[in-house]
Chains A and B, each alone.
Chain A
Amino acid sequence: MLTAIGQSSAQYALRDPDIRLMLRVRADEAGAFEQLVLLFQQRLVVILKPMVGSREEAEDLAQETFLRVYKSRKNYHPKAKFSTWLFTIANNLALNSIRSKKRRPQVSFLSTESGQQQQLGLDQRLPEKQSQPEIHLHNLELADVIAKALDGLNERQRMAVVLNKYEDMNYADIAVVMGLTPKAVKSLLSRARVNLREVLKKYIYMDGPSPENYET
């Protein structure tokens, strides 16, 4: 199989087991596509949900991403990590979906985990002048606040954040997914962090230590 896909592709395939799986999908090997779906479905939905706001919509887009992969399987020639290619498709679909929603006269809303929908601006979403010691946020409430903070970022910042945070992608890979330069990704992530810090600064020291060890 490797000789058929060329030396460069073969080198990628040897390094990346996901590419080997995709090459099996390309060869119409029974069960390979299902294996691919099982392997990536969760990761795709995790990336897409902050982009589109609801799990249902994230799943629709994830499904569409897999179908695009399947439809273009015969033209697949590995040039980068498989996940980079997959997330590039997902990113394009998510941006198209967001743009088409913007074109429609539809009120932007936040869909929280509890299913509530809110139509507030970012500044309104978070309590401005609550005294910190009085508030004890449980994890779920904190998650709600963070979801809203993420929703306040523009879609490019949001995508850069989720790819970096949840997929642990470096700037070069994010740049490929988003069609940007690594320098532009660095700038996007930096601005996103500043925005998040501004919104979340009231909460960062109030709920005990974060899940990670902060010491460098």
Chain B
Amino acid sequence: MAEPEHPDDSLEKEELYSSYLDGEMTEEEAREFEAKLASSPEERANFQAMKKTWAMLDYLPKPDVTVSFTEKTMERMKALSSPTIAIKDYSAVVRGMVFAAVLLILFAGGVRVGTLSFKETINVDEELIKNLRLYEYKNIYEQIENIEFLKKLDAPDLFGQDPSGL
């Protein structure tokens, strides 16, 4: 009576089938395997069943890639190279910078105008102090027609002190 096959022996046998089918055996191993198949109809049948099973996988249709696949992949790749979000952020930054520049210009203009007004005020005050005495007699001086007349007024023979002491 034949001994029942040990599971490990069976596994090893199946691995041999696989190795042979996949061309993973050396020439010597392959020759030994072929000799074993030739001498055992049972092994030959098992091997043929495995070979046919493997060949059945060729009936499985290979899926075609959808037409838009390449285009979509390239779009996603471009999005990686130059992210749209960053571009939007960049635009926002530029807009912000322009707004800030306008504000700065307006502020600088305001400061300049303010400074000029302030300086003008100082100049006017200085002028006033310098010519204070002139301004005090402004009303009188306005009645004098010219400088010659003013000098004559200063002449003693016309408006000098009265010799009599009056």
| Interface residues in chain A, defined as those with a beta carbon under 8 Å from any beta carbon in chain B | 33-34, 37-38, 41-42, 45-46, 49-50, 55, 58-59, 62-63, 66-67, 70-71, 113, 139, 142-143, 146-147, 150, 161, 164-166, 170-171, 186-187, 189-191, 193-194, 196-197, 200-201, 203-205, 210-212, 214, 216
Contacts and interface: CB of A to CB of B under 8 A. Distances in A.
Interface in B51-74: 51-66, 69-70, 72-74
Determine chain A's interface SS by DSSP, over half rule.
helix
Nearest to A196: B53
Given A146-B56, A165-B54, A67 B22 contact: no
B36 interface: no
B77 interface: yes
Interface of B: 11, 14-15, 17-19, 22-24, 34, 48-66, 69-70, 72-74, 76-77, 80
Contacts of B56: 142, 146, 196, 200, 203-204, 210
27 contacts: A33-B77, A41-B70, A45-B65, A46-B63, A49-B63, A50-B60, A58-B63, A63-B73, A66-B77, A67-B76, A70-B77, A71-B80, A139-B59, A143-B60, A164-B22, A170-B23, A186-B18, A190-B17, A191-B14, A193-B18, A193-B54, A204-B53, A205-B52, A210-B52, A210-B56, A211-B55, A216-B34
